[in-house]
A and B are shown apart, each in its own frame.
Chain A
Amino acid sequence: MPCGSYKHDGGGGKMSRRVALEASHAAAEAAKMADVDVISAYPITPQTHIPERLAEMVADGELSAAYIPVESEHSAMSACLGAAAVGARTFTATAGQGLELMHEVVYVASSMRYPVVMTVCNRALSAPLSVWGDHSDAMAVRDIGWIQVFCQNNQEAFDLTLWAFRVGEDPNVLLPVMVHLDGFTLTHVTEPVILPEQSEVDRFLPRFQYPFALNPDKPMTHGAFGPPEIYSETKLAQEVAFRNSKDIILGEWKEFGDIFGRYYNPVEEYKTENAEILLLTMGSFTETAKIVIDARRDKGEAIGLMSLRLWRPFPFEEFRRAVKGSKILIVFDRCISFGMGGPVFSEVRSALYDEEPRPKVVGIIGGLGGRDMAEEDFEHVINRGREIAEKGPEKMLETVGIRG
């Protein structure tokens, strides 16, 4: 399949079903079909429907798993590590403050190379307290070394969760995977989702065989400490392995498409052919932005949209290829990196710095703490983005939908 196209057909076998599901329930369904062994989760809005649905499945015998109702998110991820260490397939979910509370543990998960899968229902960070969606929780964990993807819709919530187990558990990867879903706009919204047959899932996802499982027959030590004479080498080794996972990520997406009929790619390109202006979005607001792009294309504007599906490892190659030929790239961020600006904007600029030629990159921030982005908001983003590209920035921070 050519990179840059997203095939969304019925896919799969005759017994696949089309079901109306919230993205939360779609993610839970994926964990169930993946025959997860251990679920260790703490409830937090807007993730609650995931642990609730999974608890129901376990209580009714729909899913044979150990459900650990931990007493905090820090313990949720810690228990995941313990379970992964003995070779269990492990799943959890969290959001916002919960992700922050487990912050130190998520670094450990990736450094110790445990293939835990976690759904993050993107939620704004306190203070002030907000249970509503934005990307500040995701942006706070950019550096942790997990494979990270952003979902646009409920189908992706199912597909990417299932895919996450496969890619994380690949013996040449062995890394944890974070699947980002927008809080409320995906987690609590019902959409049709195509669920595959269990036999197709079993074909895609083999039994988890963690090669270093703790076992008295072969006693190993997990988590030795790193004195200065060795720590640096461990980190370089980790980064090399992390970067190398990209090929397998792409390979597993192809495999996924071959079996289920839906192909995913790191950077989605929507109507980008001969586009002079490109809008970059992540997550569910991409679908709203697409409506605006459609309307403008109908009027003959050379404008397109890119959506970053793969966030980490950053898809440098696909990204640079996708922006070729464009003159302006408008990056829409759902988070303020205080003192610096939009985090995705900063990273994208850095990724394009050495490219010749390269588009002018401008950034606009909005959609914070549950503030919606309607079509007119994206119209504003595009118009303002052009202005900034032409005349240069006028304000300290360019925003959309923030009063004052």
Chain B
Amino acid sequence: METKAVRFGKKLVTTKEFLAEGHNFCTGCGEALAIRLAMKALGENVVVAMATGCDEVCTTPLPYTSWRVPWLHTLFENAAAEISGVEAGLKILVKKGRMPERDIVCVAMGGDGATSDIGMQALSGAFERGHDFIYICLDNEAYMNTGIQRSSATPYGASTTTAPAGKFSIGQITRKKNMVAIAAAHGIPYVATACPSYRFDLMKKVKKGAESKGPAYVHILSPCPTGWRYSSNLTIDIGQLAVQTGIFPLYEIEGGRYRLDADPPELKPVEEYLKLQGRYRHLTDEQIESIQQMVNEDYAKLKEKVAAFPM
């Protein structure tokens, strides 16, 4: 008899796979896992609009598809604009009586490049117009599908192919663009960060974002063995360290109010996270220390916000 769901304590997780096995994601891909978990939280009553990137290329080589839900891809920078059309289209068809009313969640997905760089405009527009959709950013911190080029989500000090570490450069010389703050600044009802290493937290947040009325933004850190240069079996560990060092805190912003979902009494030193990844291999002790300072600063600022605007 086929198992319909797997029990984790009080939680039941469906065994349905909305992203079929046999996809082309790299061995140990954090993004593939993030999508798998997000889809389990979303279910089948969705329309997914996806941007060009790893997520799209690894799942839809003509004439085949890995998707078991309605899925759309057109270009790189317009997932948010596409989903605006999907959402408006579905709403008006119901209003005009051409389609029965039903709960279809409009989901847009894009990588960090598609979200914080080339797709920023479309995302901002979709937020401002208040469409009822959830935007999931799969953040592997560079343009991975085209060969590990830097994006505005690449963290300070990481080496990428277009901002490589060299004699005169530390690699990425800018700090990671804070997409979560940008999303929240639009005043949208729900914003959250997630990481596949924290499976239930991720699924809960995706579900919340899907259920909230209006735009929702969930930013998922997606560890990438190929681009971050670590052994593929460490994806979950690295995700955990990102959270435990305070580099990628897990939090939610609902109606402008903050909740920190994981607040370890003592943050682990960033070095534990950085030393596992080849993209940080070139860093000196001083540089690691300055990264530590930056992380301490940012984490402190976040805690101030959590204290000032608690949920």
Asked if chains A and B are in direct contact (CB within 8 A), the reply is yes
Measured in the bound complex, the distance between the Cα atoms of B68 and A76 in whole Å is: 28
Asked if B283 is an interface residue, CB under 8 A from chain A, the answer is no
Among candidates A76, A104, A214, residue contacting B75 with C-beta atoms closer than 8 Å: A104
Residues of A within 8 A of B252 (CB): none
Q: Known contacts being A65-B92, A214-B47, is A225 close to B84, with CB within 8 Å?
A: no
Q: Is the CB of A112 within 8 A of B125?
A: no
Asked if A333 is an interface residue, CB under 8 A from chain B, the answer is no
Of the candidate stretches B93-101, B160-168, B181-189, the one touching chain A is B93-101
Q: Known contacts being A216-B44, A219-B69, A227-B62, is A82 close to B82, with CB within 8 Å?
A: yes
Asked if A350 is an interface residue, CB under 8 A from chain B, the answer is no
Closest to B46 in A: A216
Q: Known contacts being A37-B93, A83-B86, A85-B86, is A221 close to B65, with CB within 8 Å?
A: yes
Closest to A68 in B: B88
Measured in the bound complex, the distance between the Cα atoms of B61 and A223 in whole Å is: 10
Residues of A within 8 A of B44 (CB): 216, 219
Asked if B90 is an interface residue, CB under 8 A from chain A, the answer is yes
Q: Is the CB of A72 within 8 A of B121?
A: yes
Tally of B interface residues using CB under 8 Å: 49
Q: Known contacts being A65-B92, A83-B85, A227-B62, is A75 close to B72, with CB within 8 Å?
A: no
Q: Is the CB of B89 within 8 A of A87?
A: yes
Residues of B within 8 A of A69 (CB): 129
Residues of B within 8 A of A74 (CB): 77-78, 81, 122
A-contacting residues, B51-71, CB 8 Å: 56-57, 60-65, 67-71
Asked if B138 is an interface residue, CB under 8 A from chain A, the answer is no
Residues of A within 8 A of B45 (CB): 216
A-contacting residues, B95-131, CB 8 Å: 95-96, 98-99, 104, 121-122, 124-125, 128-129
Closest to A227 in B: B61
Measured in the bound complex, the distance between the Cα atoms of B63 and A231 in whole Å is: 10
Among candidates A79, A219, A225, residue contacting B57 with C-beta atoms closer than 8 Å: A225
Among candidates B61, B82, B98, residue contacting A78 with C-beta atoms closer than 8 Å: B82
Q: Is the CB of A64 within 8 A of B81?
A: no
Q: Which of A40, A69, A70, A75 has the most CB of B within 10 A?
A: A75
Q: Is the CB of B129 within 8 A of A219?
A: no
Q: Is the CB of B81 within 8 A of A75?
A: yes
Measured in the bound complex, the distance between the Cα atoms of B45 and A224 in whole Å is: 20
Asked if B74 is an interface residue, CB under 8 A from chain A, the answer is yes
B-contacting residues, A120-144, CB 8 Å: none
Q: Is the CB of B65 within 8 A of A224?
A: yes
Q: Is the CB of A214 within 8 A of B72?
A: yes
Q: Is the CB of A81 within 8 A of B129?
A: no
A141 to chain B, nearest CB (A): 16
Q: Is the CB of B70 within 8 A of A72?
A: no
Residues of A within 8 A of B23 (CB): none
Q: Which of B84, B87, B88, B95 has the most CB of A within 10 A?
A: B88
Q: Known contacts being A64-B95, A66-B89, A219-B69, is A234 close to B62, with CB within 8 Å?
A: yes
Closest to A76 in B: B81
Measured in the bound complex, the distance between the Cα atoms of B72 and A64 in whole Å is: 26
Q: Is the CB of A219 within 8 A of B68?
A: yes
Measured in the bound complex, the distance between the Cα atoms of B87 and A224 in whole Å is: 21
Measured in the bound complex, the distance between the Cα atoms of B90 and A258 in whole Å is: 34
Measured in the bound complex, the distance between the Cα atoms of B104 and A224 in whole Å is: 22
Asked if A230 is an interface residue, CB under 8 A from chain B, the answer is yes
Q: Could you write out 27 A-B pairs with CB less than 8 Å apart?
A: A40-B84, A68-B84, A71-B125, A72-B121, A72-B125, A75-B121, A78-B74, A78-B82, A79-B81, A79-B85, A79-B88, A80-B85, A81-B82, A82-B49, A82-B87, A83-B89, A86-B89, A87-B98, A104-B75, A108-B74, A214-B71, A216-B47, A219-B70, A221-B67, A223-B71, A225-B73, A231-B62
Residues on B facing A (Cβ under 8 Å): 44-47, 49, 56-57, 60-65, 67-75, 77-78, 80-93, 95-96, 98-99, 104, 121-122, 124-125, 128-129
18 additional A-B pairs beyond A75-B78, A75-B81, beta carbons within 8 Å, are A38-B85, A38-B88, A64-B96, A68-B85, A69-B129, A70-B81, A71-B125, A74-B81, A76-B81, A82-B82, A84-B85, A85-B72, A86-B90, A87-B98, A216-B104, A219-B44, A222-B73, A223-B72
| The 4 nearest A-B residue pairs measured at CB | A82-B85, A71-B125, A79-B85, A223-B73
